[in-house]
Structure 1
Amino acid sequence: MLKRDYCPTCQYPKTVCICQVISPLQVCTHVIVMQHPSEVNHAKNTVRLMRLVMPNMQVFVGETAEDFTGLQTYLTQTTKPIYVVYPSETSQTASQCGAQADSIIILIDGTWRKAYKILQSNPWLLDYPAIHLEVEHASNYIIRKAKRPDSLSTLEATALLLSTLDPAADTTPLFAAFDAMVQHRLSAMPEDIKARYQLHNKEVK
């Protein structure tokens, strides 16, 4: 079997390179992702796309508090407001808690079960206010299964929150990269498999 050639920039196979749709996005919100180790090399990992579009974001990989000591140190040294993006009984929307664009938002990247495990293993996160998203539409992440139709990918959640914090922010570059990845994945699927990922009976071409 021939070894696939990968683009050194986007890290996708050269046959489905998405570099041509990557456009840098500059925002004043500092985006930090706590990523479960199992997501790092996942073919459908949207954090990889986010880093292409937002090179200034930070990604910390791990599960336990010991894995995130560097992040904890960084957060204790900043003067910016910090918010953890995770729905809970005490979480509020960004508007309710008065979050501003010049803030730090921490997202947890993983399945619901793995994200919950990270949250439980890092009780220090409870020191920061939790915010949840106001999701009005189902996710467009149709190539990855989710238990709930309103479950968003980490990229979609980030884009929605950035738009909430700063209505003038243009999150088009994030969705351009996201859509390119989804379409490339769909184009490589056999028709019968592709049909399983149709969203609301809308044909995906």
Structure 2
Amino acid sequence: MSRSYCIYCQYPQSACVCHALKPVTSNTEVVVMQHPSEVDHAKNTVRLLKLVMPQMKIYVGESAADFIELQHYLAAQTKPIYVVYPNEHSQTVAEAGASEAAIIILVDGTWRKAYRMLQLNPWLLNYPSLHLECEDESQYIIRKAKRSDSLSTLEAVAHTLIALNPAADIAPIFAVFNAMVQHKLTAMPALVRERYNGDKIKG
């Protein structure tokens, strides 16, 4: 039997997150370069982020040729542009003197795939890199990551926005995120759910 989907959030009716949706406005422009394997991933947080930040831009691809349109778009902008990705040259928002009137680019994929995308897109080196000072561990407990400092793309965007503007209201971003996580946990068999929650407690 086919599943019934919400016409707005596009999640199954049983996992609809519309009750948690509240649009977010920001002076910071968010651009996501998304690896193709993430587009239809059931736990893809960019999909959630787009629901609360409909103005954000998503470009899907892997190589530089896939992002020609994005390159042309960025070249025409006058705002400062930053790539949110930790590396040996990256700075915190404070160190970079970045303000909220900026464009931030995030690469959406596993660490391995994101790193490869950066290698295939050397034009990104034209822009300064930012890394986050975030003491809180990721709350994305339903998707495992090899690195302890991993954040979902949604979390990375939220923390960057608050770093750029401490008065930014990021609560709606986490509201829809938590709604999705709870739906996923509730749908799990009890023993599996206990393991995920146990990992969160131990973390």
For 1:25-174, what aligned pairs fall within 5 Å after superposition? Answer: 25-174=24-173
Q: Is the 8 A contact 1:142 1:199 kept in 2?
A: no
In structure 2, C-alpha distance between the alignment counterparts of 1:46 and 1:67, rounded to whole Å: 21
How many equivalent residue pairs? Answer: 202
Q: Is the 8 A contact 2:141 2:200 kept in 1?
A: no
Deviations 1:70-105 (A, max 9, x none): 100000000000000111101101110101000000
In structure 2, C-alpha distance between the alignment counterparts of 1:199 and 1:156, rounded to whole Å: 21
Structure 1, gaps ≥5 residues long: none
* Amino acid paired to 1:115: A
* Amino acid paired to 1:16: A
Q: Could you tell me how far 1:200 is from its partner in structure 2?
A: 5.1
Q: Could you tell me how far 1:202 is from its partner in structure 2?
A: 3.3
Q: Could you tell me how far 1:111 is from its partner in structure 2?
A: 0.2
Q: Could you tell me how far 1:168 is from its partner in structure 2?
A: 0.8
In structure 1, C-alpha distance between the alignment counterparts of 2:118 and 2:200, rounded to whole Å: 35
Comparing 147-156 and 104-113, the one that deviates more: 147-156
Q: Of Structure 1 and Structure 2, which has the larger fraction of its residues in helix? A: 2
* Amino acid paired to 1:146: A
Comparing 181-190 and 11-20, the one that deviates more: 11-20
Alignment pair present for 1:175 and 2:174: yes
Structure 1 residue ranges, 4+ long, deviating more than 6 angstroms after superposition: none
In structure 1, C-alpha distance between the alignment counterparts of 2:36 and 2:199, rounded to whole Å: 32
In structure 2, C-alpha distance between the alignment counterparts of 1:150 and 1:135, rounded to whole Å: 9
Classify the secondary structure of the residue corresponding to 2:100: coil
* Amino acid paired to 1:136: E
Percentage identity across paired residues of the two chains: 60
Give the alignment's TM-score, normalised by structure 1.
0.96
Give the alignment's TM-score, normalised by structure 2.
0.97
For 1:5-20, what aligned pairs fall within 5 Å after superposition? Answer: 5-20=4-19
Q: Is the 8 A contact 1:137 1:150 kept in 2?
A: no
